[in-house]
Structure 1
């Protein structure tokens, strides 16, 4: 603070001389109403010629070479001359010492104007008010105002009588306080996760880091410039378009005050704010080192500067595992399970950091170590909610033991989960899907009659991977207007890739049907919709499951693009017996006359039908106030037959035939 006090003392010395000069030429120095009116003597003096300067002829004496003090570092960071620094100290003096308020009011000949005016600042600095260069130096086009260090107020006044104000943030910096400007707080981010990527060249300037996976460009920028000021522009409030210039100016000043780079993104949050990238330009044209991030390509109209363009690759499987290990530290006992458990989560580095933090906090309340359940719960909490507006979310509540399926079908389902867990190795490290713009997604088809376990199997697969299941609601997708269905599907696929969930297209033949010969406009646009789905499935990076009762109705081109096709057969007698036992759990009160072996042998039903029958029988028993009896089951079977349009034959019902009342 010594250097700052010395510089203020030099300003005070100049003010002292100015006050003495004013008092010596004042015909009424003791007038109590000075500044509130003009006497005849003042008018006569003004008519005789230009008013003499109030300050010294020469500039304020410098206190020595620019040093490592806050004023010195400020001068170096913004390329200020000694004169610039002097003007800044003259303007900021009332904010640092209240005595200057009264002195400036006296020198301004107006007790209500307690800051330095342009005229007063120039004269105290020993600069001529008739010099165009000097006036520019203290004006809005000067280096101080351009850098946001000085504000010229009172635009309606003549130039020389306009007031000068130093922003509070600059004043705090001169006092050694580097708390960020309050204007930046809503968008200021403090990311911790970083990944090693192609190094951003040193030496300042503009760089644009483009995401190949969400959040990676930000992590790369943080890795390259760990001390930078980071702005999350996605948090910009609605209606903030008019404040973008001010926000950019304050952000650029903040970065230069601290002597660090500015990282801001994603630029997509700015591209829609004004024509031709007007929202991006205020940030791209800032002086100093600026790193912008985004997912879109760089547009030349965004800045006159030519940026360094860097495509940031998505982190590989080992990269993400390393980040998980680093963020979890020694607070877990997952060991070699960690790569398998975290493989389904295609998280950005920041999402990994957030998930690991949430898991550690939950573990602190539940034994102290991160378990599989805590890790998966924390990971699910990081998922975006955007997909919930387009699909129905199902939190898996079943596992492999709940499935009653033949071994070949179970084997294919296990293969599906293995593809998701090991795709980074097979498709990434081993390069088994190179080129062609193909994604790293995993897609499967579950085909079979209604009630054979397709949807439940999708739920089990999601549970095994630690992911949520999202069932696409066709009512939110299909639109009668041309092109709208494709837009809805595009939004669903985009959200699914960012959401780390299993996407389920139930009754997929409604969307993925075969293309047909074009006989009218309807056929043409139906084929366009199918072609779009083919292209989007090709580039999909998530996990998608299609279910259908009519496999033959699917377009052959879809079948080629599927990774796993699972045919769900109708259950045989042994499988039906297991289903009956599973659908009538131990908590359900059951009468002694229940003959589940008879039910399994006699009634050829699917698992979905058996579940419906069990629920109906339970309601009948609850209404009667007794355990579930064989009669209840027979009545429920008969009602299920009626729903299916099947005849109740004596050969199936045996001695129970006709025992139902309706």
Structure 2
């Protein structure tokens, strides 16, 4: 610390000599040097003395020039301002493009914050004991310049680095220019003295980012663009599973800079966003960092971008939408941030997980269906380790998937209902061909990265990397439960879309609602279930009036949006024939759910009653399966009703409760209770 401040203190000693000389000259021309009230009023003698003498500059103490320090020295040896050179003021001058005059003005303004005697000196020289900071006029004179020097005044005006970077502040704008005070913000003064505490204004808005794990493949070229090509603005367009922050941090590290991540929406929402943006640029300049700014929403105030991109601090913005050239005057270097490949993802998992994993566990394979960037993997691994530690177990597949699910964005839950799967493959009672297709669907979700990205089996055309399936069958045949099983086998949550939040009577609103759902689903690792899908994915028809035209526009939009979807979506319908044929071509898997046959119905009755429900000796599952042609959903409903009847009567579930429950289910369905079906139990069905 002493080594860092010695050059600054040496310069202050030289400034003190100049101030001593100025004080001596001031005393020589003072008509009343012994007046105890001098500085508090203007006497006739003081006015006469001012009229008799011109306001001449003092003897110059610094070497001043209007050329930046870096240009005078033939170019900077480093752009870092972290004080490693031992002279922070010199390093700041190089990084900010300050001239020697700028350095002198900054030092004159800083002096009272380093040595309190300068308050008295400046009060005396200002001829006002209440003004203990240098005025612009006094600062110029101490630098050996006339008060009217235009080139010097420009160094304290907008457009000059001292002002634009808020390294120096000018107060009292209502005063004449020469009597306005100069002061150095506490953050700048503290940093020049070796204090590295961050700017308090930026707490919660910006935070340092340290690269961890293997650097992304695109980091090296981007780092070279920043370090050698002089790129100062880049836009990283982030795709689901990509990590713009990790890429930006690695690129800045390769360019020899630290990284400061900025919450852009919070910055834009502040009451004074432009001032905060200036403070961010100044902080990056002081710490030798680049700014990682995002996510870009497109509605940020113009002044924010002006302040962020005006200087030489590298700014790496990121977002999911295309860059609009109207946002900034400076054209950015645009980079597409693709999802991590399988090998990159595996390397990140290996780098963040400790030893002591469950035997044979491959973290990358266990989470292949999750689309996660490097920071999300790090957070997921941390959660998995905590869960395993709390359970006293080694980290296994269950812990990894639970940790990965914690990285889901919460926005989708406002538009769809989240279901945590609690059923598995053993709970399904379906024909073998149907089960085979469901397993295929789960396999597509697990291996889509290899097939679609590594093997490029779906190139071009702007197609997404999603998996889409259609579940078609009568009500109660197991479509929703099967979607839950598929989600559970993948370790994902199930999100069922509520059509009430989607369909809107106003033209164009349904598409907007669906776009919000698809947009939120892109940031969520889950299975998206559209129940009663024919309501929004119906056939296009011949246009006879405006209603038909807009209905067809809605269907055409959905066709295009499904083509670009990157997630896992299931469309469930009772009426497959009502779906547009163009949707069928875009589906990866079509699963038909038949009405269960007698053997399946018996298995369903047995499965729905379960092992914990007490059964009476007269329970005849064969009769129930043979007599009543019910789908699985209806069987489950009847079994639950029978359970309530038995619990109310305080006895095990018997045929009386089961037949009574079936009769109630028939009435719900509007079916007649025929003797040919109920046989000897007809009386119990009433």
Per the TM alignment, residue 595 of structure 1 is displaced from its structure 2 partner at its CA by: 1.9
Alignment of 1:169-568 (within 5 A): 169-191=187-209, 192=211, 194-197=215-218, 199-200=221-222, 201=225, 202-203=227-228, 204-214=230-240, 215-226=242-253, 227-236=257-266, 239-240=269-270, 243-268=272-297, 271-274=298-301, 277=302, 279-330=304-355, 332-333=357-358, 335=360, 337-367=362-392, 369-568=394-593
Q: What are the ranges of 5 or more consecutive residues in structure 2 without an aligned counterpart?
A: 74-84
C-alpha distance after superposition, 1:220-270 (max 9, x if no partner) = 211211343333334415642x523222222222222222333222332xx
Per the TM alignment, residue 286 of structure 1 is displaced from its structure 2 partner at its CA by: 2.7
Moved more, 634-643 or 141-150: 141-150
Per the TM alignment, residue 597 of structure 1 is displaced from its structure 2 partner at its CA by: 2.3
Q: TM-score, normalised by structure 2?
A: 0.91
Query: 2-side partners of 1:70 and 1:90: how far apart?
Result: 16
Instruction: Rate the CA distance shift 1:618–1:143 in 2: closer, same or farther, 3 A.
Output: closer
Query: 1-side partners of 2:104 and 2:304: how far apart?
Result: 35
Instruction: Rate the CA distance shift 1:306–1:511 in 2: closer, same or farther, 3 A.
Output: closer
Aligned to 1:9: 13
Q: Tell me if the contact between 1:186 and 1:235 (Cα under 8 Å) persists in the aligned partners.
A: no
1:79 aligns with 2:97: yes
3-state SS of the aligned residue for 2:412? helix
Instruction: Rate the CA distance shift 1:13–1:369 in 2: closer, same or farther, 3 A.
Output: farther
Query: 2-side partners of 1:106 and 1:597: how far apart?
Result: 109
Query: 2-side partners of 1:61 and 1:486: how far apart?
Result: 67
Give the alignment partner of residue 19 of structure 1, picking from 14, 18, 23. 23
1:144 aligns with 2:144: no
Q: Tell me if the contact between 2:274 and 2:303 (Cα under 8 Å) persists in the aligned partners.
A: no
Aligned to 1:39: 43
Query: 1-side partners of 2:325 and 2:156: how far apart?
Result: 33
Per the TM alignment, residue 611 of structure 1 is displaced from its structure 2 partner at its CA by: 0.9
C-alpha distance after superposition, 1:622-642 (max 9, x if no partner) = 222222221111111111111
Give the alignment partner of residue 99 of structure 1, picking from 92, 101, 117. 117
3-state SS of the aligned residue for 1:123? helix
Query: 1-side partners of 2:122 and 2:360: how far apart?
Result: 70
3-state SS of the aligned residue for 2:155? helix
Q: Tell me if the contact between 1:517 and 1:523 (Cα under 8 Å) persists in the aligned partners.
A: yes
Per the TM alignment, residue 368 of structure 1 is displaced from its structure 2 partner at its CA by: 5.9
C-alpha distance after superposition, 1:598-640 (max 9, x if no partner) = 2122222111111111111111122222222211111111111
Query: 1-side partners of 2:498 and 2:289: how far apart?
Result: 48
Q: Tell me if the contact between 1:445 and 1:546 (Cα under 8 Å) persists in the aligned partners.
A: yes
C-alpha distance after superposition, 1:453-479 (max 9, x if no partner) = 110000010011111111011010000
Q: Tell me if the contact between 1:507 and 1:549 (Cα under 8 Å) persists in the aligned partners.
A: yes
Per the TM alignment, residue 160 of structure 1 is displaced from its structure 2 partner at its CA by: 0.8
Q: What are the ranges of 5 or more consecutive residues in structure 1 without an aligned counterpart?
A: none
Query: 2-side partners of 1:367 and 1:510: how far apart?
Result: 49
Q: Tell me if the contact between 1:263 and 1:292 (Cα under 8 Å) persists in the aligned partners.
A: yes
Query: 2-side partners of 1:368 and 1:567: how far apart?
Result: 41
Query: 2-side partners of 1:354 and 1:542: how far apart?
Result: 21
3-state SS of the aligned residue for 2:175? coil
Query: 2-side partners of 1:61 and 1:433: how far apart?
Result: 66
C-alpha distance after superposition, 1:293-322 (max 9, x if no partner) = 233333333333333332333322322222
Moved more, 87-96 or 173-182: 173-182
Q: Tell me if the contact between 2:267 and 2:273 (Cα under 8 Å) persists in the aligned partners.
A: no
3-state SS of the aligned residue for 2:683? coil
Alignment of 1:52-91 (within 5 A): 52-53=56-57, 56-60=58-62, 68-91=86-109
3-state SS of the aligned residue for 1:148? coil
Q: Tell me if the contact between 2:341 and 2:449 (Cα under 8 Å) persists in the aligned partners.
A: yes
C-alpha distance after superposition, 1:83-104 (max 9, x if no partner) = 3212211101111122222222
Query: 2-side partners of 1:454 and 1:205: how far apart?
Result: 53
3-state SS of the aligned residue for 1:504? strand
Instruction: Rate the CA distance shift 1:374–1:336 in 2: closer, same or farther, 3 A.
Output: closer
Q: Tell me if the contact between 1:216 and 1:348 (Cα under 8 Å) persists in the aligned partners.
A: yes
Q: Tell me if the contact between 1:441 and 1:541 (Cα under 8 Å) persists in the aligned partners.
A: yes
Per the TM alignment, residue 331 of structure 1 is displaced from its structure 2 partner at its CA by: 5.1
Per the TM alignment, residue 174 of structure 1 is displaced from its structure 2 partner at its CA by: 0.7
Q: Tell me if the contact between 1:205 and 1:290 (Cα under 8 Å) persists in the aligned partners.
A: no
Query: 1-side partners of 2:487 and 2:387: how far apart?
Result: 22
Aligned to 2:136: 118
Instruction: Rate the CA distance shift 1:235–1:364 in 2: closer, same or farther, 3 A.
Output: farther
Aligned to 2:81: none
Query: 1-side partners of 2:48 and 2:208: how far apart?
Result: 63
Instruction: Rate the CA distance shift 1:28–1:140 in 2: closer, same or farther, 3 A.
Output: farther
Moved more, 621-630 or 113-122: 621-630
Length, aligned pairs only:
653
Query: 2-side partners of 1:289 and 1:36: how far apart?
Result: 49
Q: Tell me if the contact between 2:487 and 2:493 (Cα under 8 Å) persists in the aligned partners.
A: yes
Query: 2-side partners of 1:33 and 1:246: how far apart?
Result: 41
Q: TM-score, normalised by structure 1?
A: 0.94
Moved more, 538-547 or 144-153: 144-153
Q: Tell me the C-alpha RMSD between the 2 structures.
A: 2.2
Query: 1-side partners of 2:157 and 2:305: how far apart?
Result: 26
Per the TM alignment, residue 140 of structure 1 is displaced from its structure 2 partner at its CA by: 4.3
Query: 2-side partners of 1:94 and 1:561: how far apart?
Result: 73
